[in-house]
Structure formats: structure tokens, C-alpha cells
Structure 1
Amino acid sequence: MSDTMDSQNPSPTEPQKLYRAEAVRQLDGLVISQQQIPAIALMKRAGRAAFDALRNRWPEVSSIQVFCGGGNNGGDGYVIAGLAAQRQIPVTVYVGVPADKLKGEALEAHGFAEREGATLVTSLAELPAVEKNTVLVDALLGTGFSGELRAPLDAAIEHINRSPAPVLAVDLPSGLNADSGFAADAVSANATVTFIGRKAGLFLGRGPALAGDVIFEDLGAAPAVYAQVPAQLTRYSGGSLERLPARAADSYKNQFGHVLIVGGDHGLGGAALIASEAAARTGSGLISLATRPEHVVASLSRRPEVMAHPVVSGQELEPLLESPDVIAVGPGLGHSPWSEQLLARAGRAPAKLVLDADALNILAGGRVLAGIKRDDWVLTPHIGEAARLLGIPTAEVSADPVAAARAIQEKFSGVVVLKGAGTLIAHADGVDVINTGNPGMASGGMGDLLTGIIASLIGQGLALPAAARLGVWLHGEAGNRAAAAGQRGLLATDLLPHVRELVD
């Protein structure tokens, strides 16, 4: 069964569950034991589903090359090859693991491909030249892969990536970590057909870049099976997010939150202005800005609706902390004594908080707000800032971003937004993921924009986890709309008109 509406293929208004590899193995086992579906039958279903997906996506396919490893993933590949041969589609299988090393269902599937007339080769040099309508199938490594690639599979992956032909990955691209999305060397696929449970790694780290379009097939697993195995993550789309309610006809500005943006050290005023305008365009009733005196004129000129206040010390900030519902600290904050004073004062204010950028770096230093945990703040680190907050190398965060997001949330409480291709939102009840946005958004000011959006949503009444989820989605979708004119040269402020359209 493909992406239709069921417990694991919900409607667009329902979030999706993402699983670790071990959890998917548990699901497999339950399908076999409780639904009494033999393992070989599941393998045949997976192979047929992948073959059908290949034919649907590339209907003009004239030849197929399948790259098979030694486990169940390779077995799926042999089933695909056998089905192609049955339909008189020329198919060549690269046998990455000798047949005498295969066991169980994988060995049985190898025999099926051989009997149906697929051409089996053991050397990449024996593969035929790629023709116009050739499709490559990656069935080398499955969810059990971890560590470093070994010969000859490393050479096969390099061969696949050098080929001009489109690639279909079976279950997940070979070399991609199924849990974290980490990959050093991995297959870059145009599409991935994944089975039983959506693997978290397809939506994290390098997963979105390597997997291409993800097609899910539950292979007939029953809802009762999914009820027995907890998911690692919950993935939200635009339709599954809590939105702001419609405004009443007699609404007034004080009902929609007062946001204070704190930042803009010497030479860094633009970041605070971007965050302020983002809060305004997301719908805040009132927006204040506390910044260096030299940035006030620029703020009044660019956005006169923002109440800009010059502050030269934490003491001058103090009176501004009494009325806001939300305080966002960090855009252009810098790392000076002025910066530390402002964070120290704002971090102890009664209003809800959003911390970003240098506020996080100062927090990680341990001198300001040391030991403080708050249930009413949102921290929005990128990978480097996350590493500093935890005192670990960035490579460790990249290797397991879910663990890192959870660790930051446990250390500081509140809600943590770990930004990336799959942005994670960690909170007391779990971890969520939002996949949206594009590479054009890798430019200065985008994080400041997100800070202002999330702060505005909190001020308008959304709970912190809901505000973080919706804010990340608005940010990414606005980026996608703005990128219609091109990704290169995309600026943070280009997103503002689209944020306004999307938030309503």
C-alpha cells in the first residue's frame, strides 16, 4: 500500500511518525509474527512496490541496472531485477556480495533473479554502458549500515554517483545513516522507496539532499502493529500544524502580543532590524526594539511602526522589560560587555523568551544565566551553536542531531529549535521535525528572521512548541516562494511579503 490515508499514511492534516532502524526491525518482526506474513513475502512486496515506483516515475525505462548488497536490501534488489526480466526489460545486476555469502530470503531472491534471466555480474567493468532511458537501482546497503564503507561497495557507490542515469534507492540511499541522516559517502538518489516505517534519517542531516523524493510503502502492515512500537520523531507539514485563529471584527492591537527585540551591537544593527520587521509582518500588535543608539534612525527610516529605543547598558534596558509578552534576544547582539549585560537582564525578565545567535553563544560561555532552566523560552541554535551549548564537537551534533536536540532541551528546558535541512523541535513531550526551505536560504539574516517570526507567534498566543513548529514552517515556505525567482541572491527580507501571506 502506497501513500494513501491510513495509520502510517495520514492525511495532510495529520503528522507523520518517523522511526529508528531498530524500531523498523521491530515492526518487521511484528508483521511477520502477528500478521503471519512470511519474511520472503514481505521482501517480494517490497521489491514489487519499488519496481512499480520505478515504472511510474520513469515509464520510458529501456534498461535497468541493479546494485545489490548482501542483506535484505540486496534481496529487494534481486526481486526488482527478476520482475524487470519477467517483463522483458533488459536488466543487469551487480552482485556486490558473492552468492555463496548470501543467506535466507536474500539468497532466495538471488535465485529468483537468476531464474528469470537477469544478467548477473560481479565487476563494475562488466556493466553495460548507460543508455538514454537506463535507470539505476541502489540496493547495496540497508538500515543496518553504520561506520565506514568497505570495498567493493564503496566503489559501487562512487560508480552510481558518477553515472548520468537517474537513481532509485531501495529503503534508503546506501551510506546514509537511517537514524541520524549522517553520511560521509553515500548514494545520491532521485527518489527513495522506503518500507514499513519512515526512517528518520531520510528527513534529517544529509537525508533530504540524498534521498530525493521519498515514497512510502507500508507493505500491508496493520495499524495494531504501529501502536506497539514508539516512533523517534513526529514530522509536521503545513496542513498538520496548529494555526493562529481568525481575528474578530472588534480586535485591537494589545490582543496580539507585544514583542521586544534585543540586539544590534556596533556594526550589527541589521540583524535586529530584520527580526523586528519579521515580528511585525507575522502579525504582532506591538514591536519594540532595544539597540545601540546609532541604529535607531535606521530603524525609524526602515520600519517606523517599530518602537526603537537606544540603550547603552543593561540598566537602561530594565524599564523596557516590564510590558512585553515576549522578548527575543540575540540578533546582532555581539559578544561585548554590553551584550552580556542585556542578556543578563532580559534573561531574568518575567516575559517569555526567544534566544538566538550570540545570545546562545554567551549562554554557552557559562558566565551569564549560568545554571538557569526555563520552561518558557525557545532556544534556536544551528549546529555550531548547538555544539557550543553542549560543549561537544560539531561533528558529534551532525552524527546524531536528535540526541543533541534532546540533550540541549534537557540541559536548559523549554523548547529547542535545532536548525538544519530537517529542523528539529525538541520539547518536554518529544521531538518534531519540519522539512521545508531551500539552499538559497543559506544567507545572512535568515536566522534573525526566524527569531522574529517565532517570537511573534508566541506573543499572539500559541504555546511554545506550536509556535516553534509553525514558525519554522512559515520561514521555510516563505523561502520557497521567494526562491521562485531564483535561489542565488535570495535575501532574508525577500521572505517578508510571503510570511505575511502564509501566516493568515
Structure 2
Amino acid sequence: MDTPQPLYSAESVRELDRQTIAALEIPSIQLMKRAARAAFIHLRARWADIGRIQVFCGGGNNGGDGYVIAALAAQKKIPVTVFACTDPELLKGDAREAYAYAVREGVQVLTSLTELDSADGNTLIVDALLGTGFSGELRQDVAHAIERIRKSPGPVFSVDIPSGLSADSGSADLAVQANMTVTFIGRKLGLYCGRGPALCGEVIFADLGAPAPIYQAVEPLAQRFERSSLKRLPERAADSYKNMFGHILIVGGDSGFGGAALMAAQSSARSGAGLISLATRPEHLTAALTRCPEVMAHPVISGQELEPLLEGPDVIAVGPGLGRSPWSEQLLARAGRAQVPLVVDADALNILAVGRVLAGVKRDDWVLTPHVGEAARLLGCNTAEVLADPRAAAVAVQQKFSGVVILKGAGTLIAHEGGVDLINSGNPGMASGGMGDLLTGIVAALIGQHLPLVDAARLAVWLHGEAGNRATEDGQRGLLATDLLPWIRRLVD
């Protein structure tokens, strides 16, 4: 099993830069030139036949990288022009030296967007406006430059990070939309969560020869898990039997929402759980038995009727299609007192946020799976605040309720007592009803098969997203949650 990738804040990467320069005993301009060369190599590998290049340079070291890239392009006889968003006369330090290098190589440097020729489809835009230090409001001239880049019909290559994207949180208002981003020294969290996955395109990491020991002294914000770094389920013994693999109880399906609870039950079954029970409204019983006869479906009209069903399961998943009625609150209250691990999703989270049920309860043995809106309700804030810093929101929910928190998104964050994990898995086609219900069932099934909660959460998020990726053979639009079920089964082993 490979180790996960550390994801850093902008300040931590600056520290890694400083330590790399000291350890390698090189001037900082040399590290800048290494970064620019690494970027140029990847640029040329991706767009070998590009006709011309326009480089948009800011006033800091990110702009310095851009000037060096322009110089390298000129050396290769590629037509190249620089737009300087900051007057070159105001540049200092390495950025000024990089500008001088570009000028020596014959690069034309313009200081007005009106002087810059219109880009066509054969023009590559290099975005070197803002680096990882950006935060707050964009200057008007920078905003105009970003708008110009966004209108370009050709490909866009971002140096270290798309300009306008927060390296720490992945938040962005106006930002560059890149086809490729090459990032240096340390992977920035913002590239992989929030708006990052939508803005970065393909992300390439270049360590620039940074010595391995420097990474031990700098604390990351999160750890990024890929398939090779996930704990998997062990092979089953030849004499296995169903009770060895968990009895899962799915609680949900208020009037009109029976499908959500049934999909959670189906995904639990396809994830390898030994036994599945379903507690739902009586009117959903026939549909449940018809759709999935392997599920033991029970009609429940009150919390009291749920009580006997709580004695057998190893894991309870509550929330899919639960609704927010008195019936819903009764079922959550009873399920929440059970002494087995819980997976809490959907309207169970919304009821929890109101505070009438399980008020003040903190549990080490539950997994909460909110999307952004549910996280906002749990924290008593608005969705914009969650989107502004998803990692901080995930941590805040975990600190408030304990256990493990899965904050769902393009870069799903998993907060737990030991830190924060990130998994990029899935695609925009999964923005449809029922997808979260599947994830709830997968998490419950993996816990039932004896994975620790954190490992179950990590593997479930990856399985869910990868099943979504495999199910897009016929395209992303029109993808249904149930299309993922066969793929979940294939991927779980």
C-alpha cells in the first residue's frame, strides 16, 4: 500500500521553498529557473505543435516563472509575447532578474492588453499572473487579464496554480480556467478541493529536486488518498458465511422517498454486506421486495416499532429518504441510541442540525456524510461560508459531533480525529439524485465487513466515485445512481 500524498498550505510551501534552497545550496533564482524549465517541458509535451505563446505575468515570483518560460520559448524559436500586468520597472529580486533574462532572449514585453494580439485556437496562453500567495480581492487590472484569458479560444497552461484560486481552500470567484496546471515543491490543497478540480485541468507535480527530508518538518493540511494508498477488504476464506460480513440496517424512506432507502440497501448488498435489513414506510414494502428480494424489508410506522429491529444489526445507516416528519424524528431518536456504529446521512443530518433530536450528542462510532448544504445547516452558517473553506467546515463538523465526517464534493474531504483526508473520485455526471444514498450504503457495508471507520470512509468514497467513472461509458448526462451498482460490485474486491 502506497503512502498518501501530503497537501500543503501556501505558507507551508513557501517554507518548503526556503528549505529546498538552503538544502541544495543554490540561489533562489536557480530554483525559479528549475520550476520554469519543468513547466516548459510539460507544456511542450502536451502542446508540441502549438503555433505561438502568450504569457501573462504578474509582479511576483509566479510572474518570474512566466518570464523564464517566455525566454525558453524564444530559445526554441517559438513565437512568444509577454503581457506584463505589473510594470517591469517595479519588479524586484528574482522576478526582475527573470524579466531581464526574457528581454535578453528577445521576448517582446507589452504592458497594455490593448496592444496584445487576439489569441486564436493555435495560441497557448501561459497563466503566470498570481501565485499561491493570492488572497482577498483581485486588482482590477488582474481581473481584466483573467477575463481576457478566459475568453481565449486556445489552451491555457497555469504555472503553479490557476490565478484567482486560493491555494489553501480551493475557493475562487473570478479565476483562470486551465487545461493543465504544473505545481511545484508541494501539492497545494486548493488544487484538489473546492473549485480546484474544475479550474486546474490536469495537475502535474514537479518536486524540483527538493530533498525528501525537508517534507518531514512541514505539517500538511491534508493527505490525498488514491487507490494504491487505500486499505482494501481482505480475501474471503473458503468457509465464509453471511454473518461474518455484517448485518446492515437501513432506516429511511418516508412517504414519497422510498427509493432513497432502497438504493442505500442495494449499494450495501453490492458492497459485500452479509445481511441487509430495511426499515421503511409500509407502502414501500412491495416495491422493495420486488426490486431487491435479498433485502429483509420491514414496515415501520413509529419509533416504537423500530425498536425490535435495532437488536440484530452490526451497523445502522439512517437518513436516506428519511424526511423531516415526526415519524422521521422518532426513527432517528431510536436509531441514535443504538450501541452499534451509525452512518448518518441526508435528512437525518438536517434533523440533527435542528437540535431537537440527539441534541449535544458526540459519538466516536458514527460517520456523518453531509454535502455542502447539510454541512452549513449542521454548523449554523450558509453554504457560501462552507464553500469558502471546505476543509475548515469539515473539521468544524467533526469537532462538533466527533466521529468521522465525509464532506462530499469534487474533492471529498474526510475529517477525523487524526486529521483530514482528501479523495478525488467521480465526475459531474454524478450530480443527480440518489448518488449520496449509494455512498451511505457502501460506507455501512464496509464497516460491517470490519474495516475501521476511517478506512471504510476512504474506501467508500473512492469506490463510489470510481464506479461513477466506469458507468459513464455512454456519457455523463443521464447517469442514474442505480447505473453504479454493477460497478460497485466489480470494484469492491
Letter in 1 for 2:161: L
What SS is found at the alignment partner of 1:323? Answer: coil
Structure 2 counterpart of 1:182? 171
- Establish whether residue 468 from structure 1 lines up as the match of residue 461 from structure 2: no
The C-alpha deviation readout for 1:123-148, integer Å capped at 9, x for no partner, is 12222233443211000000111112
- Establish whether residue 139 from structure 1 lines up as the match of residue 102 from structure 2: no
- Establish whether residue 312 from structure 1 lines up as the match of residue 296 from structure 2: no
Structure 1 counterpart of 2:94? 105
> Which residue, 439, 442, 452 being the options, matches 1:453?
442
Contact 2:4–2:229 under 8 Å retained in 1: yes
> Which residue, 364, 371, 377 being the options, matches 1:382?
371
In structure 2, C-alpha distance between the alignment counterparts of 1:59 and 1:253, rounded to whole Å: 56
What SS is found at the alignment partner of 1:254? Answer: helix
1:33 positional shift: 2.3
In structure 2, C-alpha distance between the alignment counterparts of 1:164 and 1:316, rounded to whole Å: 62
Letter in 1 for 2:98: A
Q: How does 1:16-415 map to 2 (within 5 A)?
A: 16-415=5-404
* Structure 2 gap ranges (5+): none
The C-alpha deviation readout for 1:346-403, integer Å capped at 9, x for no partner, is 0010110000000000001011000110000000000010011111121111011111
Letter in 2 for 1:294: E
In structure 1, C-alpha distance between the alignment counterparts of 2:477 and 2:426, rounded to whole Å: 14
1:297 positional shift: 0.7
The C-alpha deviation readout for 1:422-473, integer Å capped at 9, x for no partner, is 0000111010000010000000000001000100000011000000000000
Q: Report how many aligned residue pairs link the two structures.
A: 493
In structure 1, C-alpha distance between the alignment counterparts of 2:337 and 2:22, rounded to whole Å: 55
In structure 1, C-alpha distance between the alignment counterparts of 2:394 and 2:188, rounded to whole Å: 18
1:192 positional shift: 0.2
Q: Hey, which bits of structure 1, 4+ residues long, moved more than 6 A?
A: none
In structure 1, C-alpha distance between the alignment counterparts of 2:371 and 2:120, rounded to whole Å: 43
Q: What is the CA RMSD across the aligned residues, in angstroms? A: 0.9
Seq. identity, %: 70
What SS is found at the alignment partner of 1:284? Answer: coil
In structure 2, C-alpha distance between the alignment counterparts of 1:330 and 1:278, rounded to whole Å: 15
What SS is found at the alignment partner of 1:280? Answer: helix
The C-alpha deviation readout for 1:178-218, integer Å capped at 9, x for no partner, is 01110101000000000000000000011001000001011
Contact 2:121–2:153 under 8 Å retained in 1: no
Structure 2 counterpart of 1:430? 419
1:55 positional shift: 0.5
In structure 2, C-alpha distance between the alignment counterparts of 1:239 and 1:218, rounded to whole Å: 20
Letter in 2 for 1:232: L
In structure 1, C-alpha distance between the alignment counterparts of 2:85 and 2:376, rounded to whole Å: 38
What SS is found at the alignment partner of 2:217? Answer: coil
Letter in 2 for 1:13: D
In structure 1, C-alpha distance between the alignment counterparts of 2:51 and 2:477, rounded to whole Å: 36
1:62 positional shift: 2.2
In structure 2, C-alpha distance between the alignment counterparts of 1:372 and 1:52, rounded to whole Å: 54
In structure 2, C-alpha distance between the alignment counterparts of 1:165 and 1:455, rounded to whole Å: 46
In structure 2, C-alpha distance between the alignment counterparts of 1:135 and 1:187, rounded to whole Å: 14
Mean CA deviation greater in 52-61 or 30-39: 30-39
What SS is found at the alignment partner of 1:130? Answer: coil
In structure 1, C-alpha distance between the alignment counterparts of 2:346 and 2:120, rounded to whole Å: 50
Structure 1 counterpart of 2:431? 442
In structure 1, C-alpha distance between the alignment counterparts of 2:315 and 2:467, rounded to whole Å: 23
1:32 positional shift: 1.7
What SS is found at the alignment partner of 2:49? Answer: coil
In structure 2, C-alpha distance between the alignment counterparts of 1:208 and 1:469, rounded to whole Å: 19
Q: How does 1:8-23 map to 2 (within 5 A)?
A: 13-23=2-12
TM-score relative to the length of structure 2: 0.99
Letter in 1 for 2:277: S
TM-score relative to the length of structure 1: 0.97
In structure 2, C-alpha distance between the alignment counterparts of 1:183 and 1:151, rounded to whole Å: 16
In structure 2, C-alpha distance between the alignment counterparts of 1:403 and 1:365, rounded to whole Å: 21
1:271 positional shift: 0.3
1:13 positional shift: 2.9
The C-alpha deviation readout for 1:318-342, integer Å capped at 9, x for no partner, is 0000110000000000000000000
* Structure 1 gap ranges (5+): 1-11
1:37 positional shift: 2.1
1:34 positional shift: 3.0
